[in-house]
Amino acid sequence: MEAFLLIALIVLAITAIIDISVGVGNDAVNFLNSAIGARVASFKTIMIVASVGIFIGSLSSAGMMEIARMGIFNPQYFNIENVIVIFLAVMITDILLLDAFNTIGFPTSTTVSIIFELLGASIIVAGYKVLSDDLPMSYLFNIDDASKGIIGYLNWSKTSEMVVSIIISVFLAFVSGAIVMWFSRILFGFQYKSKLKYVGVIWSSLAMLALSYFLVYKGFKSTYSTSKLTAKEILAYQKSYDPKIEDVLPSSDKLELKIPQGDILVFNKIEEAKSEAGATYEIFFGSRDFEKIIKFLQSNFTAFLLVLFLFWLIFFFIYERNGGNPLKIVVYGGLFSIAMAFAGNDLVNFIGVPLAGVQSYELYQSAKGIGGDLITSNTYMMNGLRFPAQAPYLYLILSGLVMTLTLWFSKKARTVTDTELKLASQEESREKFKSNAISRSIVRVSIIMSEYTQKLLPTSTKNYLSKQFEPIVYTDDVEQPAFDLVRASVNMTIASMLIALGTSLKLPLSTTYVTFMVAMGTSLADQAWGRESAAYRIAGVFNVIAGWFVTAFIAFTVTAIVAIILLNFTTIGLIFLILLAGSFFYYTNYYHKKSIIKQKKYDEALQSIDLNSERAFSKTSAKLAESIGIIKSCYTNAIQGLIDVDREKVKEAVITLNELSTFYSDIKNNLFKAIKKSKLNEKQTAQLYILSNDMMLDILQSLTQIVNSVDAHLKNAHKPITDVQLANIKIMLHDVGAYLDDITEFLTNNDYSETSLLKVNKRSIFDQIELALSKQVEGISHKAYGFKNTDLMMSILLETKDMVAISSRFAKLMKRILNGESPLGNRDV
């Protein structure tokens, strides 16, 4: 077991680094999205501000680890083997779960994941103890109460408090964001720059006041912490690392304990003994200077808020008069504040469990060194984990460094960020989520309610509201931001206020859930979810929320399974889980790289659309010629694969076809965006793209049918085609290839003087197809061909006919454009 404990510590150390990386990759959405979405500055500038906030937050954190040590389970009832199994199960599951969510781009909560992972592992380990020691099952479900002699292995009261507060915060965040955003838009409108002089200055001053309050309550308060313990609890901690200490309650006014880590802890008596638990002592962790500042501000809170508001009011008044935009400062302030608070508070989610594991081992080793063989890993109970502990300063520095590096280099963090930005975007774009029955029903009900409300409002009010909610139309080449600075400032301000409120009331909240739901509430109120996108966006929100419930379920279930493996197979089980985790990371990275490549190709498709009249014709001709050549190659591989019964050629055709189909589907999806930015004198080239892309998709649809039919025929090992069919197909393959080569040559040279030959060749191919169809029908009547054979041949012959018919239209289209005719003209070649 000693070997298992040592290996476990190494694994915990490694998983701590990985967990910081995957955790920041998911939580970066909390503080980056508003700044990125509003394009408040360059991406590099945004990252620098966030990095500074993260690093300061991690360095100034008190690094308290209660939730990892005793927030979910009561450690005094577990031995060191038990807690190490719990911690291992939690960390292995956490890195896998968060990495999976990062890969698919779903923002989730590191707080919720750690809570349910601790719960899942703890209940399994506690269940094993109950069953192996023949103890009452009530030990699993009691709420522990030492004063009444009630034993409860799990901290159900704390767990339920966390879950309820998180659920309430989700609803509150959405409603608050929606209400504040609606009134903000009424004040500013979308042409907000004209309102910055007065409304903007006052609003920004109030927003920065709220952010400053947030920084005090959520940011700076994480720099220190105090804990109260009775003399009995202090003695129990002493005995956890020195079992030979006298069983006498301490009573002096000041206690100094040298703990196994080498630190000296100082306890000050604050209350004399009133029970058998002895006197009450207080221990302080963190910065005394910050404590003095915070307490001074709390005692002069009204004056502090007034002075702060006047400071920001004067600052923004001067700043705006000198050409500055106060809303940018608000977004910068929110970016820094939430990043700092995130690092100071959420750090425990990443390193709390591993550090608790290290401390557990240190306590065990100290006790074993003093107690000798009387202390074993099976009998040593973890009373020491009930004692508050602070993360070593060196660990905080290293953690801050890893968090900062992850923020800069994690590609998966940008995938998560992209999900929220797409759901919140004011612009119509390719939707990431499909609509569902719930989202469609909500949209229909909303439309009915909106129409009813419109009837009740006076015309003047309706006109005013319509004017205030009329978005800016971007027609230039500048990329449209997902939303403007008004919404970005509301997102930052409301999210920070809600988190600060929860902290002041000592309610555990999920920063991710609050910031995401505020962003969704502001999107709804800002009418970003128009009738063209609402069903998809609402479905996306429900998918993300469903993912949060899945987070809790998976965290609980997987951790429980991992704990079972570790309890039964210890070291061998741990090695198996490490290999499994490595395989999982390899797969998710592979999957994510494919997604990035797919997105890159999508972006390349957008860049390839050039509506400039001078360049569009030559670029389109060249791309169509290239594509026709690829189609010929794909068609040849499919038919030749059928002739030779060669599945590899057909597989090659499938891959080539999928790549070409994806490209032209991406072109179709991006045409709207490109045309929206185009100028009126470019409408003919826009029609060129629309028509040529539509024809290409038609050809690819026919080619897909041919390739899939051949692929299915060979996969299922159906009978080879007959010699007669083979002879017809070989002739058709040659002639179709030559026909496509002719079209490619026309498109490449932009010379359409001899296109009349296409009509002759097309008629010749049609005659061959008609003859082959006639022979197929004749063969069916003589029962020479079965259903599968006929289905294959019909697909090849009829879809080839469509391919040939459509491909000739490219030459017609380009000839019309070259001659200055309408792209939709109906003259024959």
pLDDT tens readout for residues 50-60: 888 888 877 76
Environment class of 437 (CB within 10 Å of its CB; exposed 0-12, middle 13-18, buried 19+): exposed
273: pLDDT strictly greater than 70: yes
* pLDDT tens digits along 203-212: 999 988 888 8
222: pLDDT strictly greater than 80: no
What was the pLDDT predicted at 604? 66
Task: Between 673 and 656, name the one with better pLDDT.
Answer: 656
* Stretch (H or E) spanning 84: helix 80-104
Tell me how far apart the alpha carbons of residues 812 and 214 are, in angstroms, rounded to a whole number. Answer: 66
What was the pLDDT predicted at 470? 75
Is residue 540 within 8 A of residue 423, CB to CB? The reply is: yes
Alpha helices in 609-646, H assignment, sequence order:
613-644
What was the pLDDT predicted at 828? 47
Give 187's Cβ-side CA count (13 Å radius).
19
Assign 721 a pLDDT band (cuts: 50, 70, 90).
confident
The dihedral of CA 674, 677, 679, 680: what is its sign?
A: positive
What was the pLDDT predicted at 155? 86
Q: Which of 477, 486, 569 is nearest to 89 (CA)?
A: 569
pLDDT above 70 as % of the chain: 90
User: DSSP class of residue 230?
Assistant: E
Hey, what's the torsion of the CAs at 658, 662, 664, 667, to 10 degrees?
-170
Q: Which residues touch 755 (CB under 8 Å, ≥6 apart)?
A: 746, 811, 812, 815, 829
Of 8-17, 292-301, 318-327, 365-374, give the lowest mean pLDDT range.
292-301
Assign 376 a pLDDT band (cuts: 50, 70, 90).
confident
Tell me how far apart the alpha carbons of residues 320 and 326 are, in angstroms, rounded to a whole number. Answer: 6
626: pLDDT strictly greater than 80: yes
DSSP three-state, residue 388: coil
Q: Which phi and psi angles does 353 have, rounded to 5°? A: -65, -50
Number of neighbouring beta carbons within 10 Å of residue 372: 10
Of 128-132, 141-145, 407-411, 631-635, give the lowest mean pLDDT range.
407-411
What was the pLDDT predicted at 611? 57
Assign 567 a pLDDT band (cuts: 50, 70, 90).
very high
Environment class of 749 (CB within 10 Å of its CB; exposed 0-12, middle 13-18, buried 19+): exposed
What was the pLDDT predicted at 314? 94
Residues 614-618: what's their mean pLDDT?
Answer: 68
Of 49-53, 132-136, 540-544, 773-777, give the lowest mean pLDDT range.
540-544
Question: Within the chain, how many helices (H) and strands (E) appear?
Answer: 24, 4
Residues 351-372: what's their mean pLDDT?
Answer: 88
Tokens 């057909």 belong to residue: 650
* pLDDT tens digits along 157-200: 877 877 887 788 888 888 998 899 888 888 888 888 888 888 88
Of 24-33, 304-313, 381-390, 699-708, give the lowest mean pLDDT range.
24-33
Angle, to 10 degrees, between the axis of helix 511-525 and the axis of helix 2-37?
A: 20
* Stretch (H or E) spanning 239: helix 231-241
Tell me how far apart the alpha carbons of residues 43 and 35 are, in angstroms, rounded to a whole number. Answer: 9
Q: Which residues touch 708 (CB under 8 Å, ≥6 apart)?
A: none
Residues 386-392: what's their mean pLDDT?
Answer: 76
Task: Between 380 and 783, name the one with better pLDDT.
Answer: 380
Assign 66 a pLDDT band (cuts: 50, 70, 90).
low
Of 216-220, 316-320, 530-534, give the lowest mean pLDDT range.
216-220
Q: What angle do CA 364, 370, 371 make, to 5 degrees?
A: 80
What was the pLDDT predicted at 676? 63
Assign 478 a pLDDT band (cuts: 50, 70, 90).
low
Of 121-135, 140-154, 469-483, give the lowest mean pLDDT range.
469-483
What was the pLDDT predicted at 829? 40
> In whole angstroms, what separates CA 793 from the centre of its chain?
47
Give 3-state DSSP helix, strand, coil % of the chain, rounded to 5.
Answer: 75, 5, 20
Most confidently modeled range among 340-344, 456-460, 642-646: 642-646
What was the pLDDT predicted at 672? 67
What was the pLDDT predicted at 405? 86
C-alpha dist (Å) from residue 311 to 186, 294, 301, 332:
26, 19, 15, 17
User: DSSP class of residue 818?
Assistant: H
User: DSSP class of residue 784?
Assistant: -
Q: What angle do CA 637, 642, 644 make, to 5 degrees?
A: 90
What was the pLDDT predicted at 757? 79
Assign 461 a pLDDT band (cuts: 50, 70, 90).
confident
Tell me how far apart the alpha carbons of residues 769 and 762 are, in angstroms, rounded to a whole number. Answer: 11
Token pair for residue 49? 């501000």
775: pLDDT strictly greater than 80: yes
Q: Which residues of 753-790 are buried (b: 16+ CB within 10 A; e: fewer)?
A: eebeebeebbeebeebbeebbebbeebeeeeebeeebe
Task: Between 101 and 220, name the one with better pLDDT.
Answer: 101
Tell me how far apart the alpha carbons of residues 27 and 440 are, in angstroms, rounded to a whole number. Answer: 30
What was the pLDDT predicted at 268? 92
Average of per-residue pLDDT values in the chain: 83
Q: Which phi and psi angles does 265 have, rounded to 5°? A: -100, 140
What are all long-range contacts of 364-369, with beta carbons under 8 Å and residues at least 24 apart? 364/5, 364/80, 365/260, 366/241, 366/242, 366/260, 367/240, 367/241, 367/242, 367/243
Assign 43 a pLDDT band (cuts: 50, 70, 90).
confident
Of 99-108, 264-273, 315-324, 665-674, give the lowest mean pLDDT range.
665-674
Token pair for residue 160? 């339920």
